[in-house]
Every structure is written in C-alpha cells, then in structure tokens.
Amino acid sequence: MSSTAVRPSRPQSSSNKQQGKNGATPKRAQQVYDFADYQKALRTAGSADALRGLLGGKGANLAEMNSLGLPIPNGFVITTEACKAYLASKGKFPPGMWEEVTAALKKLEKATGKKLGDPKQPLLVSCRSGAKFSMPGMMDTVLNIGMTDEVAASLAEKTGDERFAFDSYRRLVQMYGRVVLGVPDEAFDVPLQKARAARRVDNDAELPAEDLRMLTAQFKDVVKQHTKKPFPSDPMEQLRLAIEAVFDSWNGKRAFDYRKAAGIPHDLGTAVNIVTMVFGNMGERSATGVATTRDVTTGAPEIEGDFLINAQGEDVVNGTRTPLRIAEMAIWAPKLWKEFQRYCVLLEKHYRDVQDVEFTVEDGKLWMLQTRNAKRTAQAAIRIAVDLARQKRITKEEAVLRVSPEHVDYFLHPQFDAAARAEAAKAGGALLAKGLNVSPGAAIGQVAFDADLAEEWAKKEGKQVILVRLETKPDDVHGMLAAQGVVTSRGGRTSHAALVARQFGKPAVVGALSLEVDVEARRMSGQGGVVVHEGEWVSIDGTTGEVFLGKLPTVVPDVADEHLLQLLSWADAARDLGVWANSDYGRDAERARRFGAEGIGLCRTEHMFFEADRLPIVQAMILAKDEDERAEHLQKLLPLQRSDFAELFRAMDGLPVTIRLIDPPLHEFLPDHDRLMRETTELLTRLELHAGDESAMTTSLREHQKMLAKVDDLREQNPMLGLRGVRLGIHMPDLVRMQVRAIFEAACDQAASGVVVHPKIMIPLTTTAEELNVERGILEKEAKAVMKEQGCKVKYQFGTMIEIPRAALVADRLAEHAEFFSFGTNDLTQTTFGISRDDAETGFLTEYLQKGILADNPFATIDQDGVGQLMRWAIEKARTTRADIDTGICGEHGGDPRTIAFCDRIGLDYVSCSPFRIPIARLAAAQAALLRKAKADKVVTPAKALPKKAAAKK
C-alpha cells in the first residue's frame, strides 16, 4: 500500500548478527538472486513451482528467460521471504537484506559498466513487484530510479536528446511521488493537462523538451507541497524507499481485493525485481508494448497486443494514449517483428501455455521484459486448451485441468437477443458507442462513474451496475469486481481494464472513443449526441464491443461451441461420477440431455401441482370433506401427472428418471394464513357496512372461512419438520398411490411406444426403516397392480432421500428397503446445523462469514466436516447391507465444483444438478477424478476397507 506521507528515513543496516550455539553465527537464507543465478535458485527452491514462490512469477521467469538466451536486461530479485519478514516486522528490512541488495547492485554496475547516480555513466533501474501468482497492476512499480538533475543533464548531452532525458525524469518524479510518497494523481494531472492544452496536443509524446523540463520542475514542487520535503536526490534513497513501497503494496486495498476475488492466499508476499532500465521513449526507433502469443479474447492462434512508438510501458496499459495493434510492428520494423515472433513461439513452447509478454525496443534493439501465463476469457481458455492438446503440446487430461468450471459457465450465460439488437439498430439512436471487444458476454446495468459508487450500489443496494471510466486504474478493481461489466473510453486490448475483466469474466468494452465521459458532471455522451446520466441503464456486449442505451432482452444460448464439446467429451472419458439433472418438466429434461445429462436425479412432483390449471384441483383435494370427495379430485390429477411423467420418459429415453413423491406439507398449497385472515376480516366488515354485492360477498366469505379453517387445521409450529414427505404419504396414502399409478401408467404407455423407461421412485424424508418398509409396501403393491392391468413389465427401483441425520446414522437398515439413496443436502444441511436456510442467509450467516466463523456458506458448498461425514457414514453403512446400492446427491450442492470433488472422493455414483450446471458438473467431476488419481500416484497408501467402489476411490 502506498504511503500517504513521506516515509521516514530510517537506518536499514543489519550488521548486528545473532549468535547461535557456541558463538557461531547461523547461516542466513539468501534473500537476493541475480537473474543469472537461475540454476542456483532452482536448486535452493527445489522445484519450478517453489521457485515461483521464492522469486515470484516475474523474477523466476526473467531468470528462466535469461537461461534460454533471450535478450533481457540485467537485474536481480529480492525474495518473497524478505517481503514477508519486512511485513512481519512492521516495515523493517530483514537482517542482511540491504547488504545483499547493495552487493547485487555493485555486481549489476560492473556488468553494465554504469553506476547508479553517476552523471558520467548513469545506471537507471526499475523496481517492480512480482508475486507467485500474476496480479496485473495490483501492486506498485517505479521506473527510472537513479535519475537526478545531474543525471538528466548528462543524459541530454550524451544522447543529444533533451526530450528523452526530461521525459524520463518527469516520469520518475510523477510515478515516485504517487507510489512512494503518496501524492494524489490529480496533483500531477493538472499541470500535465495544462501543458497539453497550451500546445494543443492530445498526448505527452507530443510535448517538446522545454515543456518536459518545466513539468519536471513543477512535479518536484508538487512533491514538496504535499510532503513538506524535497524530492529525494540520493539514488540509493530512491531505491530503498521504492523497495519499501513495493513490499507495502502487497497489503494495499486493490491487491487485497484482487487476491480475495481470485482466490490467491494472502500470506505469499511479493518479490521485488530490480532491473536495468531500457527505454522505449528514446525517439522514433524506440517503442514499448504488451502482447499475448495467441488471441486471449477468442483463442485464435495469432499474436495479439498493442505497442506504442516513443513511449514507456505504463503508457500502453494506462490508456492515456491509443496504442497501435501489434501486427503493425511488421510495418514499423519488419526485422524486429520477425525476431519478436520467434521469441513468442519459443516461450509458448517452453512454458506449454499461452504467454503474456512485455517488451521494449531501445534505439532499434529488442528487449524482453517479462513473460507469464496469459489471462484469458472463458471462450479463449477452452479453445486454447483444446488447440494445445490437438497440437500435442499438452495431454487431453491437462487440457481438461486447465479450464475452470467458471469458464464453462460463461457459455451458459445469457446473450443479447439478435432480433432485439437488429431492431435497436434499425430504430437508430440505441447504439451509443463501439469499442474493442476485450472480454465477451452480455451485461446490463445502471451507469456508475466511479468504483466506490459501483461497489456501494452493487453490495449495499443490490443494483446491477456498469462501471464507466475514461480508463481504469488498479485502484478501481473493487468497483470492477462489483460491476456487471466495464466500459472505458480509452485504452487498448492490453489495458488494465481489459486484463482485469478477462481475469474475472466481466464483459468489457474498452477504447470506445466516441464516448465522451465527464466524470465531474456524472454523465457521458455517445453517438448522435445522446446523453446518459449516472443511474441510467445501458447494455454492453463484450463479444462485439458495442454499448447500447437501455436494457436489451437476452436469450439463453445452447452449448454448441465446437471446442467446448470436444473438451467435455475428454472430460466424460476422464470422470468416474455420473452427472444427472434436476428436472421437473419435459422441456427441462430435453435441455439437460442436450447438455449431457445421463439421467434425472430429481423430479419434484409438487412443482407440477403449483401449475395454474392444477392448483385449484389440489386445493379442492385438500379441502375435501371425506375420502370419496378426495378420490374424485385425485382422479382429476391422475391424467395430468401421467402426462407429466410421459414427457420425462420420452425426453430421457433409455436413461433413469428419479421421481420424488410429494414432499412439502399440504399447507404450502393453500393461501397464506395471515392473508386469509385479513381478507376474511375485510369481507366481514364490508358485509356489516352493506358495502357491495352482499350475495357475492357472502359466498366469498364462506369460501374464505372454509379455507381458513383448513389452514388452521393443517397449521404446525415447525411445518418443515412436521407432516411432510413419507409421513404425509403414510397419513394420506391415496395421494401417493395416485402418483405411483401415474408413473407406471406413463411408463407402460411409453414402453409400448418403444421408449426405454427406467423409473426410480424416491420416498422423501425417511428416518426409520419401519416407515420406509410400510410406505414401499403400499406403493409397490400399486405399481404391480398397474403393470398387471397394462400387461407389461417395467424395471424399476424404490429408494429414499437422506435428508435427516438419523437417516444417515441408520443407513444400513434403510438399505434393506431401498435400492438407491439420494442425499438431499439442502435439508440435510439445515437439520445438521439446526438452522433455517431462509432465515440464516438473510440474517446471521452473513455475519458468520464476514467474521470467519464459517469459511463457506454451507448451503453453497458442502460442509465436509459435518454434513459430509454423515454422507460418508451413510454410504459405508449402506454398502454393508446392499453392496450395489446406487448413491447420489440431488441438492443444489450437486452443481458446486468443490462439492463434486468431495462426492468423487467418498465414492458416490452420481451428482444431480440443474440443467444449466450439467456442463460445469461434467468438467468438475473429471477434474476431481484426475486430481485424485494423480495424488494417489504420488502417494500410494493402503485403501481403507470400504465396500464396493469407495475403496477404489480412496
């Protein structure tokens, strides 16, 4: 985190060494490594992954590029261990570190023939962060360290380019003032804007030398005004404070927010890279750029990126100048372009993944400054993984592991309706702007012009937000994470906004030049002069780079991407878990099958009862005065249920269909008690006042009173633990008998038509073997009667849901009467924790998560220590009774990747989830199996004596 005041100048010497036993000085771990020390550092770390942890990704890769013979500037790395020690000691360099830095600096001076602060042969260096995991722009960087008045004058004379010398100097003062000394950006922006306005130019590259000399002086005055101290003229002090600033930036807000969103641990620390400066701002033969070895928006196999002539690195990513496409480098410098292409191919082959590289051309010489695995969109991630596997660069299994479930989720997100887009275009005025399509997907939201407001609206008010900025800065990351999408009027494909949006799957449009953003006035204007104020709705399409006024309708896409289908086929070959769907209707089942479902794991029959044409019949059945009247209404429901089940059997021809019998308490099908009471009271009052048609009101009053009496009769203190599930089936057997009759009549009818049916009848909420035995006896008798009537035989199974802890504890006894178990983990979580989901998620659960009492929402990912242990216990016990019992999970957890991995480990047969989670579950199940088997290959331990397949999966 950058300081908000001048850092106190404190002694960092660490010459007082601690004495070990017998007076010996314990050997300290090396804290600084030269880029040429790659092999030594690798031996110290023990593995390439550990090396990244020690030197950070940037430092490790620079050292590795050096060993590959690529042209990189000389430099050295301060380790992450030094950073962690610095932070732990509240801002003191660890013993010996500064001495190692000064020794490494002397070695660097000898190698370059230059010296830090020497006007005759000045050495200038950059100080850059570099964590184990890439965090683009989230921590601090300082360029041109070592620049002083004397050095600037000497450089101007030596190079004959005063403009270059003072452009470099003013950049140091500006960047150092902001990053190290805590001077706000705006303090530097104002004089810079005035200089550009006076010259009537658009960017800094057009300012002459005299203006840059003047700006350097003005910037130094700004520093003195804000810090009450002059800008440091001692290069060693510049270097020391810059190192502190980079260390401190590990704990900055933007870095913390980024790590939290990306799932990066907070205890890794950052390395610091001290690198000899090479200059892209030395004139028209110099340039700087950022590129990826493939298109990270689409995945296409072509180099993608931006570069700027006569510029330094931050100019490319901060959006202040519009960059050139990287392909234009072939026109500007054909030989350099071919050289650069060779390096891109080499790096991609070496790292076996798409690389994000930074480079500088200094007076016609190409220097490679960084490489790292590139951030990419979901679409690109899948295509790249598949293409690399097809090219034999990686295995199919590696391809499956490289794509995250979130990447697959992108293909299931809504996209803008093409017809609506065409109509909007035809109507005119709806298209506000067109920019670069840097992160695909559709997003709709209310415009917010600053990151704090975007976060506040999204988190506190629950609004959908589109963050609109001139260009984003690292300090905007919290607003970007909260927003549905991002729009900037400046910047290119490698700008900060583009990198962060791709990393977190946010639709984004950058470089929308026709948008005039006025942050102060809280408005923007687009094509045709259309003005949009803060809070108004816009729609953005990150796939096409378009920004529309208002809310465009969206459609749900089908999973038809060729690369995704290929990846999922590889995933299917790798996984052990089956993937089934929770589907209540034929149309859902059809979609689930298209998405790859291998069966239906849960059909909730009560959902069918809530249909508008059925609810009155269900209510009449509940209100029936005797069994004969109830039977009359059940007879009306029978053909409706039969039709429902026939649709499911047709959609899942040849696959199992698990139908859960009615589960909720009957009061859920009747009007709310308080509402009925209120309406009844109002009717009584109106009758007393003779206000209205008394005959109609009297009839309505009788109906309300009848309904209210029944609701009172059914009312329970805790209905979710009352008369529901198997208890309701035993109490009202005619209802569940009707459902089973409908299932088997539909099955026989469809079987006669050539459909292969596999009905699985699931009895919910059982807690004892006795009640399951009684209920199964009633239902199986009905099933056999139907098959006898129809003259057909259908292979079927009866099973139960495990939703109550007692059911898990007596699973061996339940298995005597059940051919399958399905874990209903929503209710199992509620009953295990003793909490109501609805109340907890709107109440104390949020506080528990914020305070770290619970690491995860147990309704989002399975509680492995509690609920998970009950599941494991139930499976083990059940298989002692029935070795071939089928086990699955059908709660919402079935689509959660971490839960799926747990289900794989404990030996479940399948997971069942919503149709739109099917592709995600297929990938997650494959990844779980591959990682489990890889771990077993590394550490072979005797399998615990578990029945059936559980032992094989341990």
- Enumerate the active-site residues: 496, 890
The rounded distance, in Å, linking the Cα atoms of 647 and 584 is 10
Tokens 């209802």 appear where? 735
Alpha-carbon gap, residue 895 to 860, rounded angstroms:
9
CA 311/CA 321 separation, integer angstroms: 9
Q: Looking at residue 433, what DSSP letter applies? A: E
Radius of gyration for the chain, computed over Cα atoms and rounded to the nearest angstrom:
34
Contact 819, 882 (CB under 8 A): yes
Sheet holding 365-373, edge to edge: 324-325, 304-309, 287-292, 355-362, 365-373
H-type helices in 428-545, by residue range? 451-460, 477-482, 496-504
How far is the CA of 507 from the CAs of 218, 410, 411, in angstroms? 40, 10, 13
Environment class of residue 200 by beta-carbon count within 10 Å: exposed (0-12), middle (13-18) or buried (19+)?
exposed
Q: Cα 231 vs. chain centroid, distance in angstroms?
A: 42
Ramachandran category for residue 429: left, alpha or beta (phi over 0 → left; psi -120 to 50 → alpha): left
* Token pair listed for 590: 């059809």
Look at the block and give the residue holding tokens 């509620």: 830
For residues 142 and 248, what is the distance between their CA atoms, to the nearest angstrom?
Answer: 13
- Select from 496, 68, 2, 9 the least CA-distant residue to 232: 9
Instruction: Please give the order of strands across the beta sheet that includes 531-533.
Output: 516-518, 523-525, 531-533
CB 62 within 8 A of CB 275: yes
DSSP 552-582: --EEPPPS--HHHHHHHHHHHHH--SEEEEE
Structure tokens at 620: 């009449």
Q: Of all residues in the chain, what percent are helix, strand and coil, respectively (each to 5)?
A: 50, 15, 35
Q: Sign of torsion, CA 435 438 443 448?
A: negative
Structure tokens at 277: 């400066």
Q: And the tokens for 504?
A: 């977190």
Max CA separation in the chain (angstroms): 108
Which value, to the nearest 10 degrees, does the dihedral of the CA atoms of residues 547, 549, 554, 557 take? -10
Taking residue 627's Cβ as centre, other Cβ atoms within 10 Å add up to: 11
